[in-house]
Structure 1
Amino acid sequence: MTNPNDDGTLWSELQAQVLILGGLVIVIWLVHGVDWLLPRDLRAYGIHPRTWMGLRGILLAPFLHGSWTHLIANTIPLVTLAWLIMLRQIRDFWLVSLVVMLVGGLGIWLVGATGSVHIGASTLIFGYFGFLMMRSYFERSLVAIAMAILVFFLYGSIIWGILPTQTGVSWEGHLFGLIGGIIAARWLSRR
């Protein structure tokens, strides 16, 4: 019988996933709490299209949110989709996150409206969504297809977020996050 605390077991994987996702949620919520308490607006560290200072937002923007409502709306899909990526391999989560942040952030920086500031974890959410959906296309495995069906059932309606239909919502972040997820799916897929 296997000890549930041995490395490589399902139990140790689950513990690592909870630790990573719990840590991510704590950091995002603490950043917003600090932003809420301080007189300085941390949203200034988001992505400012086509400005040199705006480049720092590529890595910082996913941790910044405009309101508690914005933060709450992003938390559950972020955790759910990130965990679904981790189910196969935690390493995939880190690589997908990095690709999505870079592709999504650079896309926003290049085409975002002048004078706008883009913040929020939705770029990651759309990237994770794109990764999970397109991994099924590139891999064509039963597990990846079943995962894509589940993801589409849970979050398929978010696809409309890539259209510029709402003022104050970064459709650019959604679109380029999705593209980043598709690129990551192609890169990481195993046939």
Structure 2
Amino acid sequence: MKDSLPQRLDRWIARAGINLLIPPLILVIPWLQELVDQLLFGGKWNLPMVPGGSFLGVLTAPFSHGGFGHLLANSLTFLPLSWLVLLRGRRAYLAVWLGVYATAIPVWLFWPNGSHGLSGVVYGLLGYLLIIGWLEKRPLSLVLSVLALIAYAGVLPSLLPIFSPPGVSWIGHLSGFAGGLLAALALADDDKP
């Protein structure tokens, strides 16, 4: 027997409440790391993904930043994009994180420069949102894609080196974006948004 509309709505509201907490709880990690870095290490304790470095750097890089300004900029885009992906569900959110980590591995192995910050995940979330609507052609997915395009189209040029400021890891942005696209391709047509 199918649940009534009010029962489904109650479940969605309960799930949405939990989903609203996930991104801020994730942000506690980089903010604590940056606070410890600034207070105890004078801004020199970074956990980047560096060529020839430990694989652990791939895992810690999203939580390491080059100062509070870097972290604040990433946090302000991370939160709304995370919440938009979480409208699709925690499975989609986890898929984006896994996609971003998977596409970071070749960068870690072959790219000559180090990289860190949540911007790879931010671009992964954006990549996912931009393509999922066009892949599924469902109303919610299409709305999310259009919202993401309207709100964040201006950052897309920074996926290319000619539009990235010096010192900004455009390859980290591009690999994160590719991870989001992979996640969308893997989850498209999933019947459980």
* TM-score bracket relative to the smaller structure: 0.7 to 0.9
Q: Which runs of 5+ in 1 are unaligned?
A: none
C-alpha distance in structure 2 between counterparts of 1:80 and 1:39, whole Å: 31
**Which stretch shows the higher mean deviation, 180-189 or 91-100?**
91-100
Alignment of 1:40-189 (within 5 A): 41-43=44-46, 45-49=47-51, 51-53=52-54, 55-103=55-103, 105-113=104-112, 116-164=113-161, 165-189=164-188
Which letter maps to 2:78? L
CA distance in 2, matches of 1:52, 1:35: 20
Q: Secondary structure at the match of 2:41?
A: coil
Measure how far apart 1:132 and its partner are: 0.6
Deviations 1:43-93 (A, max 9, x none): 1x21112x042x221110000010111011000211111111111211211
Structure 2, unaligned stretches of length 5 or more? none
Cα distance between partner residues in 2 of 1:61 and 1:86: 22
Structure 1 length as normaliser, TM-score? 0.87
- The residue type paired with residue 79 of structure 2 is V
Structure-1 separation of matches of 2:41 and 2:82:
32
> Displacement, 1:36?
1.0
Greater than 6 Å deviation, 4+ residue runs: none
User: In 2, Cα distance between the equivalents of 1:42 and 1:9?
Assistant: 43
1:20 aligns with 2:22: yes
CA distance in 2, matches of 1:82, 1:155: 13
User: Distance between the aligned counterparts of 1:35 and 1:12, measured in 2?
Assistant: 36
Aligned 8 A contact 2:98 2:179 in 1? no
SS of 1:94 mapped into structure 2: helix
**Secondary structure of the residue that 2:165 maps to in structure 1?**
coil
